[in-house]
Amino acid sequence: MSQNFDKFVLLIKHLHMPFEEIYHLYYIKIFQFIYRISFSEQDSEDIAQEVFLSLHNEIMKNKHPLNTKAWLYRCALNKYININKKEKNVHLTNNINLYEKNYYNTIETDIIQNEQKKAIATALSKLSPKEQVLVNLYNEEFSYKEISEILEIKPTSVGKTLSRAIEKLTTYIKSSNYEELCKERRIV
Amino acid sequence: MKNCVKKEELFDYHNHSLENDRMSEIRHHLVNCKDCQKKLQTIENNISLVEESLRSLNPDIECIPPFKFIDNKKTNQKKFNLSTILSWAAGICLIITFSTLMMKKYTHNQKPVNHYEHYEYIPDLNDAWKQNSVSVTIYDKNGLPVNHQIIGD
């Protein structure tokens, strides 16, 4: 009950929130969400910008979406699908380039971190695109109803497919050397 | 144990997405059933592993880039490229030619039936049969020959 009330309060707050605040609140989340599907920083940045541009246009037309968070994620997903259709990329996860230099880390931790990321990315890429998105949306703390609205599927089927996807993903992650890499990273 | 809860339902129970009655039923069942307790524990572990691994995938963003506002009018202007302009021009040309043709036909039909500008005269059909040819002379209103043609050999 209290969770529902919190969501309701958040919804009312969003309706009166200026655009800049929404942008600062959700930009990173949208960017990361698209990055976890596409594994391309450039694409994620472009899509995030386009999403907020369309939100800006909607607000200018006095058509403020009721559930701003869900609207943003749905818009981002649609834009990602459109880009994929244009470029005819079936799976962008095939072109994984996750190397990221962190200046505070040593070379060893950098390498281990990178290997970890690759292990997760390959595990994710083994799931179907729908399952990938479902797991990512669940990770963003969306309710079943919101997920069903974003993906346009039945709310009753969300739980089943989600539980199966998570089970699959954990087996894929465990079968890779992810946990060993975690231990190594702690030692380093 | 009898009436054990399915994995999917335990997953829903973990997410508080079941109806209140079913939630309380499962809660009571979990107190006594060790198998279901184990199942729930593995589900929770799986979820935490997935959450942790997805979190580690996130790239580091130092600062949020400024919002790039693009004016709607400019974006609309971009849509008019060369091919669309050419197709529009071709369409307009087609409409103009078609309409002028229709107008001509319409004005032609407006003329009175007896208003002849030229008269055709075929002199002798027997002669034409013998010679395998027909000579046609066209006269204007005043009776002056305008054109003379021989059709056939």
Complex-level ipTM: 0.74
Query: Taking a C-beta distance cutoff of 8 angstroms, is the pair B10, B40 a contact?
Result: yes
Cβ-Cβ contacts under 8 Å, B61 against chain A: 28, 31-32
Residue tagged 């669940």 (tokens): A138
Measured distance CA(A181)–CA(B130) in Å, rounded? 110
CB-CB under 8 Å, A53 with B70:
yes
Q: Is the pLDDT of residue B85 over 60?
A: yes
The CATH number given to A1-95 is 1.10.1740
What's the token pair of residue A39? 């594994």
* Confidence band, pLDDT 50/70/90 cuts, at residue B131: confident
CB-CB under 8 Å, A136 with B50:
no
Same fold, A1-95 and A104-188: no
CB-CB under 8 Å, A143 with B17:
yes
The CATH number given to A104-188 is 1.10.10.10
Cβ-Cβ contacts under 8 Å, A124 against chain B: 57
Measured distance CA(B144)–CA(A59) in Å, rounded? 81
| Cα separation of the two ends of chain A | 45
Q: A12 CA to chain B: closest CA distance, Å?
A: 23
Query: Taking a C-beta distance cutoff of 8 angstroms, is the pair A33, A136 a contact?
Result: yes
**What confidence score (pLDDT) does residue A92 get?**
44
Query: Taking a C-beta distance cutoff of 8 angstroms, is the pair A130, A148 a contact?
Result: no
Phi, psi of B20 (to 5 degrees): -55, -40
**pLDDT tens-place string over residues A113-157:** 777 788 888 888 888 888 988 999 998 888 888 898 888 888 888
Measured distance CA(A165)–CA(A116) in Å, rounded? 20
**What confidence score (pLDDT) does residue A94 get?**
45
**Minimal Cα distance from B63: which residue of A?**
A28
Domain positions in chain A are 1-95, 104-188
Beta-carbon pairs below 8 A across chains A and B? 85
List of chain A residues with pLDDT < 50: 90-96, 99
**What confidence score (pLDDT) does residue B45 get?**
92
The two counts, helices (H) then strands (E), for chain A are 9, 0
Domain positions in chain B are 7-57, 118-152
Q: Is the pLDDT of residue B141 over 80?
A: no
What's the token pair of residue A148? 């069903």
**pLDDT tens-place string over residues B104-119:** 776 665 555 555 556 6
Burial A96-129 (b: 16+ CB within 10 A, else e): eebeeeeeeeeeeebbbbbbbbbbbbbbbbbbeb
DSSP B77-128: HHT--HHHHHHHHHHHHHHHHHHHHHHHHHHHHHS-TT--SEEEE---HHHH
Name the amino acid, one letter, at B44: E
**What strand order describes the sheet that includes B145-152?**
B118-121, B133-140, B145-152
Please tell me which of the candidates B55, B61, B67 has its beta carbon nearest to residue A23: B67
* Confidence band, pLDDT 50/70/90 cuts, at residue B89: very high
Q: Mean per-residue pLDDT for B82-99? A: 92
